[in-house]
């Protein structure tokens, strides 16, 4: 028709199926309308479409009593695997429900055997026969032997580690005899050591005094095996070496980091019960900040802050978990100007000296303690990680201002006045304010410091040391950018000054040249006048002669 040959394709099948469906609906609609005489409901038309058979363009169309079309199927078999040639070998007639074999054809099954209707172990491998054959006796024996061997090795390793631990605890490798320590001269200590001067800040803070009225030396030193060491007395009459104390001492030996002072050992010989650690001759961070002769630029301050953050990150991720007494006097600097955190760990070994609720030293030593710990009647001696973050904020404020903890310009307060609000209020008061003469780069670090302090009453707002490290790096990067901008501005100002100086030098050179020209002209005029007078004398002499 129309000289066009229709070839089999997917579009032809879709179009044929659409045509058959439309014809099915038309027949059912005509029959329903012929009976009802009007516009029939859809349900009646649909029922007329069931149990119907007619010849369509796609072949015989048959719908059963459920309205499902029963389709004829043909099974194709690959005759030649090289050429991928197929032929029809089986035909299924849905209306007659009959399967017919095509004569002179044969099916080629994989392996020469027709596959079963249901797999041997079922479609979900739930056949009990297959489950019983899944694990053989040999496999079961191997698994049992493997488990026994694994348990034996695990128990052996556990027992070995436990015996090794007990051996280390009994050996007391940390123990140092007081006779092995040679005390250094006190004058040398006062010259090279660090002194805890919580107040060289005006009349509000006096120096901490010992019972005999002398200045309290922060780091007493001595010599152990030829090396100078720092000695920290615990103010305890005796030490009971229970398992808790032994484990704390072992943990102190195991914890080592570049930004933590190395624990050398401890002496428990009464009355000289003390902790011996690495000695840092540059003194504490507090001493450096109080020394006006030491110039600290912002890059060096950021280096000190970064050392504190690194040390606290390591400490919080170690078995010690928290510091509890972080403050500027517990941050010491070694010969290489690397800041190290000291006075950490051994919470049950130390003795917190209580000078009385009204004592100046009692409140001065708690300026770095978080408000939630101050409100506790018996705060944990090891502190908390959130409390360490608050203490870091106070240290950061000290580094920024170099005026001590809770410095208030024009509004001095005693340590007791500073610490009173946290006991009765959830807000920290007062907030350290920046001085009016702060440098241009100061407000950035002050905002970071204020964020740490303002979150004191909200534990859910306090950062962890890992988050603090990220925040500190971001602040440092932004601060470096600001310093680079300032350096660029200074360079541009210097270039402008050099240009002005060059212009002034050029103007001065022009003035000098003009002065030289005037002087040369004057000399020429003088010489010319002298020559004229000599010529006149000669001329007059000739006339008289």
Confidence at residue 50, expressed as pLDDT on a 0 to 100 scale: 87
**Which residue in 426, 428, 468, 477 sits closest to 448, CA to CA?**
468
What gap in Å lies between CA 206 and CA 415, rounded to an integer?
Answer: 10
What gap in Å lies between CA 47 and CA 68, rounded to an integer?
Answer: 12
Tens digit of pLDDT at every position of the chain (545 positions): 456 565 655 457 788 888 888 888 888 888 888 887 778 888 888 888 888 888 888 777 888 888 888 877 888 888 887 888 888 899 888 777 888 888 888 888 887 788 888 888 888 877 777 766 666 778 788 999 999 999 999 999 999 998 888 888 888 888 888 888 888 764 444 444 444 433 333 323 323 333 343 443 456 888 998 888 999 888 888 888 888 888 889 899 889 999 999 999 998 888 888 899 999 988 899 988 888 888 888 888 888 988 999 999 999 999 998 998 999 999 999 888 899 999 998 888 776 555 444 567 778 888 888 888 888 888 888 888 888 888 888 898 888 888 888 776 666 677 777 776 544 444 444 454 555 544 444 545 555 555 555 554 454 445 555 555 555 555 555 666 666 666 677 667 777 777 777 788 778 877 877 887 777 787 777 767 666 565 555 555 555 55
Q: And the tokens for 40? A: 């029939």
Region of residue 457 (phi > 0: left; psi between -120 and 50: alpha; otherwise: beta): alpha
String of DSSP letters for 422-450: HHH-SS--SPPPPPTT--TTHHHHHHHHH
Confidence at residue 277, expressed as pLDDT on a 0 to 100 scale: 92
Confidence at residue 262, expressed as pLDDT on a 0 to 100 scale: 93
Q: Is the dihedral of CA 35, 38, 43, 46 positive or negative?
A: positive
Please say whether the beta carbons of 194 and 285 come within 8 A: no
Please say whether the beta carbons of 231 and 184 come within 8 A: no
- Under DSSP, the state recorded for 398 is H
Which residues are within 8 A (CB) of 70 and not within 5 positions of it... i.e. 6 or more apart? 62, 63, 64, 94, 95
Confidence at residue 144, expressed as pLDDT on a 0 to 100 scale: 92
The structure tokens 């140092």 sit at 176
> What CATH number does domain 178-353+363-459 carry, 3.40.109.10, 1.10.510.10, 3.90.580.10, 3.40.228.10?
1.10.510.10
Would you kindly state where each structural domain of the chain is located, as residue ranges? 1-71, 72-113, 136-171, 178-353+363-459
């Amino acid at each position: 028709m129309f000289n066009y040959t229709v070839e089999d394709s997917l579009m032809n099948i879709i179009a044929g199926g659409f045509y058959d469906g439309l014809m099915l609906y038309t027949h059912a609609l005509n029959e329903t309308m012929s009976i009802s005489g009007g516009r029939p409901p859809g349900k009646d038309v649909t029922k007329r479409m069931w149990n119907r058979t007619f010849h369509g363009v796609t072949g015989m169309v048959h719908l059963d009593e459920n309205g499902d079309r029963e389709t004829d199927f043909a099974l194709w078999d690959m005759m030649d695997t090289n050429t991928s040639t197929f032929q029809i070998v089986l035909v299924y007639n849905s209306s007659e429900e009959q399967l017919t074999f095509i004569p002179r054809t044969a099916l080629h099954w994989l392996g020469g055997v027709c596959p079963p209707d249901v797999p041997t172990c079922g479609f979900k491998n739930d056949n009990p026969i297959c489950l019983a054959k899944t694990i053989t006796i040999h496999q079961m024996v191997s698994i049992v032997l493997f488990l026994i061997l694994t348990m034996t090795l695990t128990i052996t390793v556990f027992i070995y580690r436990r015996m090794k631990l007990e051996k280390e605890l009994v050996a007391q490798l940390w123990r140092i005899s007081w006779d092995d320590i040679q005390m250094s001269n006190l004058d040398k200590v006062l010259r090279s050591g660090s002194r805890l001067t919580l107040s060289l800040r005006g009349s509000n803070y006096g120096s901490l005094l010992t019972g005999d009225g002398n200045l309290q030396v922060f780091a007493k030193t001595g010599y152990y095996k030829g090396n100078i060491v720092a000695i920290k007395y615990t103010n305890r009459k005796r030490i009971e070496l229970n398992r808790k104390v032994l484990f704390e001492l072992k943990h102190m030996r195991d914890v080592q980091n570049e930004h933590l002072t190395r624990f050398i050992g401890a002496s428990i010989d009464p009355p000289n019960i003390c902790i011996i650690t690495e000695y840092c001759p540059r003194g504490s961070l507090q001493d450096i900040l109080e020394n006006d002769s030491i110039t600290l630029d912002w890059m060096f301050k950021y280096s000190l802050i970064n050392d504190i953050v690194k040390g606290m990150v390591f400490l919080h991720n170690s078995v010690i978990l928290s510091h509890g007494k972080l403050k500027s006097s517990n941050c010491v600097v070694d010969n290489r100007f690397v800041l190290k955190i000291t006075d950490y760990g051994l919470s049950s070994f130390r003795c917190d000296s209580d000078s009385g609720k009204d004592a100046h030293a009692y409140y001065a030593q708690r300026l770095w303690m978080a408000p939630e710990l101050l409100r506790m009647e018996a705060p944990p001696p090891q502190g908390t990680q959130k409390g360490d973050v608050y203490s870091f904020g106070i240290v950061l404020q000290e580094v920024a201002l170099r005026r001590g903890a809770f410095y208030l310009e024009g509004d001095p307060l005693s340590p007791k006045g500073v610490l009173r609000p946290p006991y009765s209020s959830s807000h920290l008061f007062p907030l350290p304010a920046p001085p009016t003469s702060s440098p241009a780069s100061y407000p950035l670090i002050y905002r970071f410091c204020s964020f740490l302090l303002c979150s004191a009453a909200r534990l859910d707002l306090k950062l962890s040391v890992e988050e603090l490290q990220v925040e500190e790096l971001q602040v440092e990067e932004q601060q470096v950018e600001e310093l680079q901008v300032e350096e660029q501005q200074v360079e541009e100002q210097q270039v402008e000054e050099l240009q002005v100086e060059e212009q002034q030098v050029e103007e001065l050179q022009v003035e000098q040249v003009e002065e030289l020209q005037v002087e040369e002209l004057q000399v020429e005029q003088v010489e010319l006048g002298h020559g004229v007078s000599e010529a006149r004398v000669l001329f007059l002499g000739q006339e008289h002669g």
